[in-house]
Every structure is written in C-alpha cells, then in structure tokens.
C-alpha cells in the first residue's frame, strides 16, 4: 500500500465533497432527523381537550369535574350543549373526550343505586385514544374509591417504580433510538454515493486503468467518510443530552467506541449498495429502503424487542441495529456499561458485522469493467 497515493486520492475526495455541497448533506441530515423525530413523535398524552356535560349539577358531580380540572392530562371545559352537539364537536376534531354525567347522579349514588357515566373518546389516533380512555377511567375510579368506606374498598394497589426513565418522557425513549437510525442511514448513503458518483460520471475509469490498488482506493474513499461521520457521533450526543435533555448514565467511551464500529458497519452497507447500482439516484433510494425499515421497525426504538412476536424477534436479530441500540440505550438510560455480559456480546457481534461487511464489500468490488 502506497500511502502517498492514498493521501492524494483522499485529498481529491475531500475537495470534491466540499465543492459539491455534499458536506451539507453529511451534517444537516442527521441533525434534521433527530430534531424532527424528537419533536414530531409524541406518544404521551397531555392536555386532551375534554368536554364535560354535567346534567346533574350537584356537589358530587362538581367534585368529579374538579378532579379532571386539576389534572395536567386534561383541558376540561364544562359545556351546556346537547349530546348531539358535543358528538358533532368530536367529528369536527375540536374535542377529543366527551364525558356525560347523568341526571340524578348524586342522588342515586347516595341511595346506593348504580349509575353510569358515559364517556366518548376520539379513537382516530389509536394509541392516543387508548391512553385517553385509560386516563378517564383512572380519574373516575380514583374519585369513586375515595367516596367508598375504606372497609369495602378491598383492593390490591400497585406500587410502581419506573426504572431508567422515571418521568416516562418520550424524549428519553425515542432520541437514543434515533442515533441508531441515523448512524445507519447517513454514512451508508455517503459511502454509496462517493463510489457510484464516479461510476455515473465515468471517472471510475481512472481507477480501473491506474495502478492504484483496490485496498488503496477503498481506504481513500471510506476513510474521509468515516472521519466526517465520527463528528456526527458527538453532534448527536450533544443534541440528545442538551436539546432533548436525555440523561446519560453510562460510559461515554463505550458509546463512542460502539458508535465508531457502527459507522463502519454503515459504510460497509453503502459499499455493498455501490457495487450493485450504477446511478446515484438508485443508490440513494436503495440505501434508504434497506436501512430505514430495520432502523425503525426492528431496532427496539418504537417497540421493545422483548415485546415483539417470535418471527419479528428473529428478523430483528438479523440486522445490526438492534445490537447497537441495546448498547446505546444502556449507556444513556441504564448505565451498566461493559460490566454486563450482554453488552460485551453485542459489542463483539457489532465488530464482527463491521469486519464482515467491509471484507465482503472489498471482495466483491471489481477493478475492471464488466
């Protein structure tokens, strides 16, 4: 390997990247994705727009309304309209929850006769609808339990401790997973483009016909991409901890090291894509398709691996995202570090992926026109 040749080639790559605005893509895309997804995905529900129709107007019904008023989960309005009008408001997407307290609510309760509260929830967003229904149930049963004599209220109460993410913030749950998504997509696109661009423009013949070796060529192509995206590892860390205030409890060294290996894996994926494609647009689309789906669906970001069905678990084990995300979530939220045998194993698997993909890519690449 001639280092002089490699250095010259690398210099050319870096100059080209600076001139072609590719550098903007390298740094803008990751930051954009983390900000968009971090702000744009909200699974927790607060301030649900609630309308209460109080047909009873008694002390108890007002007491119940007070419970809703004091909860941050609801923005409660007591309205004096008919049930039809209220349902119409849900259809117009002006209201999400409608609670109807029937006439004689207090009287029947005091007499010990059963009474029924009607609740309508907008279920167009399924997980939101489900959560809202559960909130309403929780508030009403809580209020009811307080009214009952303690002897009758035989109940097993739950004492829950939310590990790793006490306040159950969405940001803590999603942003670390985004790092695994971005560091899989972005370096792969870059490395695929760097090689396919030469194919499309015909300058690849310089490589075919010059005495430069395949290993030198690959080193010159992949090394700048590797260094540029290594900066993103820090940048993403900064967004996560500073902008989204995700706690970081583990070892930074582990996060850094695992991420560098992961960037290598991504570069390897891009290398493989560049072998089978010949135009930049196809290379970009193909890379996005094969990286985004595992990065989203089989990464454990939106759905934990342990809660997947059996076949999805097997699929998840095929892609490298799952192993990386396990380590990232560990360093951010759990904090076991390398003391955990599972993290050690996953790190080794990542290393094997990186070496395997890059070796495979360089083996399949041909230094001749086919």
Binding of other proteins by 153 (CB under 8 A): yes
Q: Could you tell me which stretch among 3-11, 86-94, 206-214, 217-225 binds other proteins (CB under 8 A)?
A: 86-94
Binding of other proteins by 302 (CB under 8 A): yes
Q: Are 30 and 186 in contact (CB under 8 A)?
A: yes
> What is the nearest approach in angstroms of other proteins to the Cβ of residue 260?
23
Two structure tokens written together for 189: 């696109």
Among 5, 293, 360, 365, indicate the residue that binds other proteins (CB under 8 A). Answer: 293
Question: How many angstroms separate the first and last alpha carbons of the chain?
Answer: 25
Three-state secondary-structure class, residue 282: helix
Residues in 259-288 at the binding interface with other proteins, rule: CB under 8 A: 280-282, 284-285
CA distances from 185 to 22, 179, 215, 353 (A): 15, 10, 24, 16
Taking Cα atoms as reference points, which of 234, 258, 270, 274 lies closest to residue 328?
258
> What is the nearest approach in angstroms of other proteins to the Cβ of residue 161?
5
Binding of other proteins by 158 (CB under 8 A): yes
Taking Cα atoms as reference points, which of 259, 269, 228 lies closest to residue 331?
259
Binding of other proteins by 66 (CB under 8 A): no
Binding of other proteins by 317 (CB under 8 A): no
CA distance 247 to 360: 38
> What is the nearest approach in angstroms of other proteins to the Cβ of residue 215?
28
Binding of other proteins by 125 (CB under 8 A): yes
Residues in 92-121 at the binding interface with other proteins, rule: CB under 8 A: 92-93, 108-109, 112-121
DSSP class of residue 214? Answer: H
Among 40, 149, 202, 211, indicate the residue that binds other proteins (CB under 8 A). Answer: 40
Among 297, 349, 351, 355, indicate the residue that binds other proteins (CB under 8 A). Answer: 297
CA distance 266 to 360: 13
Kindly tell me the sign of the dihedral angle through the C-alpha atoms of 241, 242, 246, 249.
Answer: positive
Q: Could you tell me which stretch among 37-45, 50-58, 66-74, 232-240 binds other proteins (CB under 8 A)?
A: 37-45
């Amino acid at each position: 390997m001639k280092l002089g040749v490699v250095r010259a080639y690398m210099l050319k790559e870096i100059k080209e990247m600076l001139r072609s605005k590719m550098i903007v893509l390298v740094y803008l895309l990751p930051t954009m994705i983390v900000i968009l997804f971090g702000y744009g995905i909200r699974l927790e529900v607060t301030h649900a727009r609630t309308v209460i129709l109080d047909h009873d107007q008694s002390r108890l019904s007002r007491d119940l309304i007070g419970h809703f008023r004091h909860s941050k989960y609801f923005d409660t309005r007591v309205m004096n309209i008919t049930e039809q009008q209220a349902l119409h408001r849900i259809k117009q997407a002006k209201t999400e929850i409608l609670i109807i307290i029937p006439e004689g609510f207090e009287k029947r309760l005091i007499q010990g006769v059963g009474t029924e509260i009607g609740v309508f929830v907008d279920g167009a967003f399924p997980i939101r609808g489900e959560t809202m229904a559960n909130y309403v149930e929780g508030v009403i049963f809580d209020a009811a339990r307080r009214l009952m004599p303690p002897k009758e209220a035989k109940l097993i109460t739950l004492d829950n401790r939310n590990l790793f993410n006490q306040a159950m913030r969405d940001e803590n749950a999603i942003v670390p997973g985004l790092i695994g998504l971005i560091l899989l997509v972005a370096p792969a696109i870059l490395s695929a483009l760097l090689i396919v661009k030469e194919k499309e423009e015909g300058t690849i013949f310089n490589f075919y016909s010059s005495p430069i070796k395949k290993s030198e060529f690959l080193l010159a192509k992949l090394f700048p991409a590797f260094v540029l995206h290594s900066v993103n590892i820090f940048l993403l860390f900064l967004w996560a901890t500073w902008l989204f205030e995700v706690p970081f409890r583990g070892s930074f060294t582990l996060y850094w090291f695992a991420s560098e290996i992961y960037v290598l894996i991504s570069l390897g994926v891009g290398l493989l894509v560049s072998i089978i494609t010949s135009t930049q647009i196809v290379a970009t689309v193909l890379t996005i398709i094969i990286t985004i789906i595992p990065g989203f669906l089989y990464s454990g970001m939106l759905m934990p691996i342990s809660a997947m069905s059996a076949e999805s678990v097997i699929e998840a084990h095929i892609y490298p995202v799952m192993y990386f995300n396990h380590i990232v979530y560990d360093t951010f939220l759990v904090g076991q570090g390398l003391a955990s045998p599972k993290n050690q194993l996953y790190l080794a698997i990542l290393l094997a992926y990186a070496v395997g993909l890059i070796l495979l890519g360089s083996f399949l690449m041909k230094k001749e026109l086919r």
